[in-house]
Chain A
Amino acid sequence: MDVASIGLTGGMLLIVLGLYCLATKRNMIRLVLAAEIMTNGAIVLLVTFAATPLGMVNPAIVAIAILAIGIGGCVAAIGLAIALQAFRHYKTLDVRELKRLRW
């Protein structure tokens, strides 16, 4: 198995894992983590595609990946902050209880 296949399989696995978690879990903190896992899967795919057959890595794409990691951190922070505020307000982390936020 070459490096590219490992990268692609790993990235896809992470995304599927995140989707599975989003589709089955009810705890808000788990959902935030699931979204983070999916983001990381996407970044893995991006970096894998950045590699050229000659073994070089396109630096521009690496820069984008680093930026994406930073943004992912911010998203996680905001997601957890929302979860915290929601817990303070509703005294639960179960997303099914938050249905009233629906439009």
Chain B
Amino acid sequence: MLPYAPFLVWLLPLVASALMPLAALHPKVRDLFPVVVGFVTAAFALSMIPDVSAGPPYPNPQISWLLVPGLIEVKVGVLLDPLSVFMCNIVAGIGSLILLYSLAYMAGEEGITRYWFFMLLFIGSMIGLVVADNFLWLYIFWEMVGLCSYALIGFWYKKPEARKAGVKAFIVTRIGDVFFLAGIILIFLNTGSFAFSDLKGTLEAFKVLPYALSTVPFLLLLGAIGKSAQLPLHVWLPDAMEGPTTVSALIHAATMVKAGVYLMARTHLIYMEAAPEAWLTALIWVGAITAFLTATMGLTAVDIKRVLAYSTISQIGYMMMALGLGASAGFVFISQFHLMSHAIFKALLFLAAGVIIHSLAGLRDMRKMGGLWRDAPVTFYTMVVGVLALGGVPPFNGFWSKDLIFAAALETGNYAALFLAVVTAALTLAYGLRMIYLTFLGEKRSEEVKKMHIHEPWVMRVPLLILATLCFITGFTGENFAGFMGVLTHNGEVFHVEPLSVSLSIVALLVGGIPAYLVYWKRSPPPENFARGGWGALQRLLSEGYYFDKFYYAVFVDGLKAAVQGFRKTHPGILNFNISLILGGLLLLAFLLLMLG
């Protein structure tokens, strides 16, 4: 590895983000500096691969931190194992491509220095999150990426929807974070350490508090549900699409929402065979149900970015499900393999959508688009590659990784979850094709789109082409990737093509693809037919997202407001009255203390 790579790989972007105000003194430096930092970070991340591919023991440099002699000693450091180095490369690699793309996408925006600052801060803290070797640092970085997400969703703070979406994302993920923090505190109380490596050896020590061994993974799961936007805390991610498309691509598709999957994979690796059965089952069902429900929501969304957001949630559901199928490193590999495929094709899809949105001055409604493929051929073809990979069409990477998940579900006998997963695969291809048709094919359906000029500069085309190539290549690297993750493959135990699961994939493709082709390409029946009668009711239910959002607003926003209004009546605003109540309260407290103490 390059010298000091385990530390520099996350310190470099963090320090660079602090230097942004200095770099902003010159407009050219301001824009080029973060891109250069991004690529240097990616080089550092790449250089760490050879060090871990040899297998354990993995490098784990530590320093002493929070030292109270004789009482507390918290050792912190970075852990380089296949999982962390892999995530590190995803973040740094895709992050650098997106920074490059931002040069064109964000050119001339107001507050661009703020944008670069938060992007660099995000890349630094996300890499810090995945290389941290203890739960304390993981949590600190976890909150830092949450902050960056909030600030970047609300980047266009003059738009009220963007402000609201940022706050919503912040608050909803916070619900999960509270449980996550509770889990971390339980771990520390029981083992006296935050480090993953200590935890592995002291699982039996989880006896101080009863049930801690089986409660902790559930608390961590709730944290992951918030961060990875799984049901029932998924409502923030579709709204987060108010941010710039580059932000959606980097934070809300490729990296930050994967932090929950990473956390679950990490917990999985710590617990291994000791993983509670109920936790694994919860993972399977959270994943499978999320994957299915959000895929159906994606079918009716009309905002191109919301389709992609629903599809992100749905694909993360697959990863969660893969982790729950069994307690061994093989399942971590399967979920990480799908994570890699998804990070690549979803970043590609978002960046391709970004070209369109950028050219159409922020228009995201697919009903007004159409016929754009002649204007933006590179975007069109790369987006088709992305949709085929997302839908799981061979030979693109999505096919291989999804097939592994099906095979694993078959092997472990989780047929109900497998059924949901296959149906989801069919729906995925259907909404992918619908998106392609509505955006690029047919007639241009509105005047404003007709008079807009679409342009795709090379600085946008290059990342698209690189990602499209990767979509093609990475599908075939499963064997190597399994070896890298330390999973045995030579006996064909993990990586092999199962005829049954492949045929399931093919069936799903036909079931999803043929109706989409008939409805949109052949117009028999035409899509308008589905807006009436029973289909119309279903369509409304789906486009309202099963009323999750409405329900949360009614209960937690309006309900809380009403409760506060009721409570406010006890505040008459008469100072004498308030003081008398305070006196009474103090007396009561003193009385209680005397009686009980």
Contact = CB atoms under 8 A, between A and B. Distances in A.
Nearest to A25: B576
A102 B571 contact: yes
Interface string A66-103: 00000000000000000000000000000110010111
B interface secondary structure, majority: helix
A5 interface: no
Interface string B574-587: 11100110010000
B579 A23 contact: yes
Contact of A23 (B571, B572, B583): B583
Interface in A1-45: 19, 22-26, 31
A24 B576 contact: yes
A19 B583 contact: yes
A22 B573 contact: no
Interface residues of B, number: 10
Interface residues of A, number: 13
B580 A23 contact: yes
B576 A99 contact: no
B574 A96 contact: yes
Contact of B573 (A19, A25, A31, A102): A102
B571 A22 contact: no
Nearest to B571: A102
Nearest to A101: B573
Contacts of B573: 99, 101-102
A13 B560 CA distance: 42
Contacts of B576: 22-26, 95-96
A101 B571 CA distance: 12
B574 A19 contact: no
Interface string B558-597: 0000000000100111111001100100000000000000
A102 B573 CA distance: 5
Which of A22, A101, A103 has the largest count of B CB atoms less than 10 A from its CB?
A: A22
A102 B575 CA distance: 10
Interface in B387-419: none
A103 B578 CA distance: 14
A22 B582 CA distance: 11
A51 B575 CA distance: 36
A34 B178 CA distance: 42
Contacts of A103: 568, 571
A22 B576 CA distance: 6
15 contacts: A19-B579, A22-B576, A22-B579, A23-B576, A23-B583, A24-B576, A25-B576, A31-B575, A96-B575, A99-B573, A99-B574, A102-B572, A102-B573, A103-B568, A103-B571
A50 B576 CA distance: 33
Nearest to B576: A23
Contacts of B572: 99, 102
Interface string B535-573: 000000000000000000000000000000000100111
B126 to A, nearest CB: 40
A43 B179 CA distance: 43
A101 B573 CA distance: 8
A19 B583 CA distance: 8
A22 B568 CA distance: 22
B279 to A, nearest CB: 45
Contacts of A95: 574-576
Nearest to B584: A23
A19 B574 CA distance: 15
Nearest to A18: B579
B23 to A, nearest CB: 43
Given A23-B580, A23-B583, A95-B574, 8 more contacts: A22-B575, A24-B576, A26-B576, A95-B575, A96-B575, A99-B572, A103-B568, A103-B571
A73 B572 CA distance: 30
Nearest 9 A/B pairs, CB to CB: A102-B573, A99-B573, A23-B579, A22-B579, A23-B580, A95-B575, A23-B576, A19-B583, A96-B574
